[in-house]
Structure 1
């Protein structure tokens, strides 16, 4: 209700006063705005008219407690007397308004919104509401005309409530914020191994026990037995939504133009179900697997019974069944699964999973619904009507779209909001990755490799918030906003009308809105961020310094001293042709307001030399053979194409083509235990004159703990007491943790 109160105050304040300077900073940016001259003052005697088609959405304007006297008149036909006031009218052919679009006109006659359907009218209403919220004095609105429609018909936000249960009151607030920024689908991830969250009356154990666990925090539970307990026991932690609560949320969202899509996980991610109904697993024993037994007919009876109750709650056309990350080893050893595979002529366990997905797809289609699943549902074949959410990059979405399947793009690199949004060393623990606001905004949901005639199958994009490291709703807000605002514009505004510089400027005004709505959003950081471009022809580094502030004040040094207000102010990119250390920090007036950022620039001997691999890279090729000697250091994320990944250890050598004097050899590594990234155990350097006989010149032993969850960088370096000669330099790094080694530049002096 707080959102409605604030919207009312900002959008329809009828107090008198002088007009103040107005600004137009809408997010998402409308696709066409024509500005008039002057402003319009909203007055208390303005009537509200709505035709019958829009009476229900018009009610949003009368629910505000501040305006108990404002009355809405529902009219059957627009007449001459309806030329003034606030008017919600149907589009006429001459208006040329797209099916899901609207037209908003503010002039001396008041406010006129026209649309072809309620969804378009609702979008127009929220544009008006947001416009009022953005004004310094909301009594005065600028005269203008907006003609607008969404680029994509699916504009989604996801929330996982299995890892951490979220109160219903917050979910309504989440819906309020989504509506304000023109999202129209809420993907509600209700079940997973960490807890079942929806009442299913036929199977009471799902909420009597599978909804409750021994530890409040997901990480504590994960590391301490992963047990479920009966509701009411002293340690029970969790919760669930009754069917009536779920229906309440569905209705609440629908009134704001948002469809709630439930996700019920199958065939994997079902540890909680199989702990209380172990007869549905291959082993028949609780706590032994997370995948349903596909060869057991009772599995499909259970899933269909559950879906029957789900369908009665959620009218959504789409029903999400997960379908991802199923461990197939139990199916290989299960007589029931193997018998089914043989009976159906299935080649392998991938086709066995596909069989299960197809059974549920057929069942949902028989009920008039559509199945949605993560991109793993492509494995083994997919039925014609299924929709794919592409999360493991874009490849699954591209493949599905080109096959003629509808696709919702949710690639982890751009749209997983459980990733760090700033330097992980300064942020609360997250699952990994690095996804700053500008990278979200840069995303285009239509990859160029989708066939032109298949682009129509890209329905839109969705951000996912998995809550392993979000124990409460305040942390969800911190991870979701303002990144969700960037996605709102990605989904709504035509690609050619988007500009990061313009969005960042407009965003400054929305921080106040988020403050007024009591959103615990991520505040823009003062921390200096460096962008270094290496020029191989000039052998120089071009350095830019910035921060998340709109107009940062940054001072820097190149002589090793700490920056002060008397240091050099950064105004333009700096080009340096020698090995240099830059130190930079942000200031407000004369006061430093950020840590000192240290930028190491190396112009070293190995740049451009050929690298040979005794152990190949694995999974993260970066720039292949060019990565380790390209003169460019890696950044905060191993996704930036500058970090090369190895699982078998690092064993490479550099050929200098002639004997060189070697004084030092170093490689920087990354450690982030969450996603399994570790420092090497040992780092060794060898020299050779012929490429066959190598002599070891030094070893560095790692003493950093692998259990510290924070992001760390460490340069493993061998410095010679005396310079040594050699043509070949070999570096070896061991991988005792069996995770990933991520190696940066091989720096040789």
Structure 2
């Protein structure tokens, strides 16, 4: 289903005043943002106009006010091109301030001020545009906050083009039609009903009614699995199964047998037998859970019978690590949303949640020893102290609960851990350092100041200090922060990290779940850090470190030793090895993320594996689920790494990157021939590819609905690719692999359209139903869909288009404007596509 993602030609957001004496229902000032062009000048900057209009009865004075907003992340505004009536400056990150200059003459009712804002990055989507606008007025020394009305102008489809050289297709209904026409609807059998596709399925001839069961047979070693199955069965059939230690002798038992599967070395392997004599699930404790999930996959979705074919399934995963990283630091997701996510991950047999819970813009975990981290980092607001967490991503002057503001209490996190463990999911907490650590730095500085005021000694107050107060280094991180990197030249930084590990160990122990792995980030350390730190100058001299790169290497080794001392595995982003060549691979796993096609970094992950490092492939080109599905202006998400739809995730070849051609994000492709000199995996390297992981960064997420829209159904393709055997056989390349992928995709797309979208709907989850494809031919419209099994409906533009509208079965006469959409069985629909007799059709290309 699609919620909240239809952009109107003029989007008007009414924002209530959060402070001050102004009438919150009356708006005296209107802000209008109109994106104009990309490559608007010789500096290749994009241009937008920001109009400030006085629509009320109160003048906007010559001085005494400031306008704040968040620009597109990871960008800079040209401060010299805005005109002479105002002054613009970046405060930090994506947070900007506009104040009047001496030449500003004020605005009376009806007057407008139009400002040209040039940004050093293309803006091709509605989700790219600036947001979070608010004023502060100085009223006799008292600050008064005021949120104006805000509107956004229309972006035309052509504005999705980044530059004159950008030839990547801007998807529309006609392009979609050509893509979709390769698909055919197929009848699903036992094997194709289950995602990920099982290793081996042997169907019998008899039939079994899955609704007939009355009991689960489980001994003491399988009681937790029995309770999980009982809950799933109740959900599907509204029927409580008894859990017994011995079968009653009937054919209505589901037997759980804790016995390692003989056909595989994996402790996650299982056998599922469904016959007229009942159901048996055999495997280790982990394997039984996956057998339960496969049985659950055969439970009927809406409109299906509960009767299935007798079958025997033997199944085991390709990779031992099948992960998903969710960033809840930039924007928060509630405990309930995380539990929903874990259940779906468990259903699709994923086994690792990489929990990115800290960053420059948010700290989301309560730790008993450091209450300051939550006090400073769990909410964003207009800065009222040097330690405040500033507005980011449109959060406004006081933030929004459950989006910019929020954290997990100790009890919340314990519940998440226990819920995950029941589904075979390890939760790896990530505390990102040494960069991305602005909140930790500020919180520990705040702590030190507070303890000193309480009379504590400098040694005690500074025990966990993370910055050198005399550091004058100048730098800007990828996200635009100039104060987000901890100092590696003081023991207090390592005291803090050591204490963090102990705090997490205590928390996991309370949950009854072992802390196996901790992630300490290591990515995107900005150029220029520590160069003007007196502490570091002295430290480098004492430790014979020749330059900053050597200091970064020293830090990496210290962190590795710290993890080893505390008996936890260490995980890091592979950036860390750019600065720590020769770092021991022992007790270390790397997330290899930077493989953007055409950038020269495509083989970095393989190089690390060949060197002997354990690697989790987390490739931005295919596995970053925050990348937009398509290039359309109203399709939300980022695109700096690639455009990434579900088919792109499905086509991911973890151990054969260079066996097929790949699209480039600005058009064209890089071919197998052009990639021939890239480093391939050796036999040794292959043994160090431990798995794959998707990633969902949260800058553009303002709700759980948006999160789910971005990750479903892409996450399903990710889970499938992590579990099933390699698509590539022997030395196959190019067209042979692509033909095989096409055939497998056709079945996968049918399963998604016929079953899994309806299942997600039954669980109350949001997901993206792709818009229909259309073709206009001789005055008639033909329609198709990317997932066979969904229903296409249509109506005239004057009528309501809903689940009661006519079902599309054949070409429709186009004698007036018509609208089309795809629907699941629950009435959820895709974005509506309108076509009229005057629609200009794309030119045919040869």
- Asked if TM exceeds 0.5, the reply is yes
Give the TM-score, by structure 1 length: 0.65
Q: Secondary structure at the match of 1:426?
A: coil
Contact preservation (8 Å) 2:329, 2:356: yes
Contact preservation (8 Å) 1:268, 1:325: yes
Aligned: 1:37 with 2:37: no
Greater strand share, structure number: 1
Q: 1:135 Cα deviation (Å)?
A: 7.5
Aligned: 1:303 with 2:497: yes
Q: 1:267 Cα deviation (Å)?
A: 0.3
Q: How many matched pairs?
A: 537
Aligned: 1:461 with 2:692: yes
Structure 1 residues 296 and 527, CA, compared in 2 at 3 Å: closer, same or farther?
farther
Structure 1 residues 336 and 282, CA, compared in 2 at 3 Å: closer, same or farther?
same
Aligned: 1:221 with 2:391: yes
Unpaired segments ≥5 residues, structure 1 = 1-19, 531-544, 555-563, 568-583, 604-749
Structure 1 residues 142 and 363, CA, compared in 2 at 3 Å: closer, same or farther?
same
Match of 2:229 in 1: 61
Q: Distance in 2 between matches of 1:25 and 1:597?
A: 41
Q: 1:347 Cα deviation (Å)?
A: 3.6
Q: Distance in 1 between matches of 2:424 and 2:408?
A: 22
Select which of 321, 332, 339 maps to 1:154: 321
Q: Distance in 1 between matches of 2:759 and 2:263?
A: 32
Contact preservation (8 Å) 1:215, 1:235: no
Match of 2:298 in 1: 131
Contact preservation (8 Å) 2:501, 2:566: no
Structure 1 residues 74 and 400, CA, compared in 2 at 3 Å: closer, same or farther?
farther
Structure 1 residues 220 and 343, CA, compared in 2 at 3 Å: closer, same or farther?
closer
Q: Secondary structure at the match of 2:312?
A: strand
Q: 1:68 Cα deviation (Å)?
A: 7.0
Contact preservation (8 Å) 1:528, 1:597: no
Structure 1 residues 223 and 155, CA, compared in 2 at 3 Å: closer, same or farther?
closer
Aligned: 1:510 with 2:756: yes
Q: What per-residue deviation string (whole Å, max 9, x for no partner) do you get for residues 353-394 of structure 1?
A: 222122121111122211111111112222222110011115
Contact preservation (8 Å) 1:401, 1:458: yes
Q: 1:343 Cα deviation (Å)?
A: 2.9
Unpaired segments ≥5 residues, structure 2 = 1-186, 446-464, 473-480, 509-513, 596-601, 658-679, 728-739, 777-782, 794-810, 823-831
Match of 1:268 in 2: 435
1:647-686 equivalent positions in 2, closer than 5 A: none
Q: Secondary structure at the match of 2:633?
A: helix
Select which of 735, 745, 750 maps to 1:500: 745
Contact preservation (8 Å) 1:198, 1:242: yes
Structure 1 residues 135 and 111, CA, compared in 2 at 3 Å: closer, same or farther?
farther
Select which of 198, 201, 212 maps to 2:365: 198
Structure 1 residues 168 and 414, CA, compared in 2 at 3 Å: closer, same or farther?
same
Q: Distance in 2 between matches of 1:371 and 1:529?
A: 53
Aligned: 1:108 with 2:279: no
Select which of 453, 473, 488 maps to 1:294: 488
Select which of 236, 256, 266 maps to 1:88: 256
Moved more, 105-114 or 359-368: 359-368
Match of 2:336 in 1: 169
Structure 1 residues 434 and 529, CA, compared in 2 at 3 Å: closer, same or farther?
farther
Aligned: 1:350 with 2:588: no
Contact preservation (8 Å) 2:393, 2:700: no
Aligned: 1:491 with 2:659: no
Aligned: 1:258 with 2:425: yes
Give the TM-score, by structure 2 length: 0.58
Greater RCO, 1 or 2 (C-alpha within 8 Å, sep 6+): 2
Match of 1:645 in 2: none
1:240-259 equivalent positions in 2, closer than 5 A: 240-259=407-426
What RMSD in Å do the two structures reach over aligned CA positions? 3.9
1:2-17 equivalent positions in 2, closer than 5 A: none
Structure 1 residues 528 and 191, CA, compared in 2 at 3 Å: closer, same or farther?
farther
Q: Secondary structure at the match of 2:287?
A: helix
Q: Secondary structure at the match of 1:221?
A: coil
Aligned: 1:280 with 2:448: no
Q: Distance in 2 between matches of 1:284 and 1:270?
A: 18
Match of 1:322 in 2: 521
Contact preservation (8 Å) 2:201, 2:311: yes
Contact preservation (8 Å) 2:572, 2:589: yes
Select which of 618, 626, 649 maps to 1:418: 626
Aligned: 1:391 with 2:636: no
Contact preservation (8 Å) 2:253, 2:279: yes
1:393-412 equivalent positions in 2, closer than 5 A: 393=595, 394-412=602-620
Structure 1 residues 349 and 516, CA, compared in 2 at 3 Å: closer, same or farther?
same
Contact preservation (8 Å) 2:470, 2:533: no
Q: Distance in 1 between matches of 2:552 and 2:841?
A: 50
Contact preservation (8 Å) 2:592, 2:616: yes
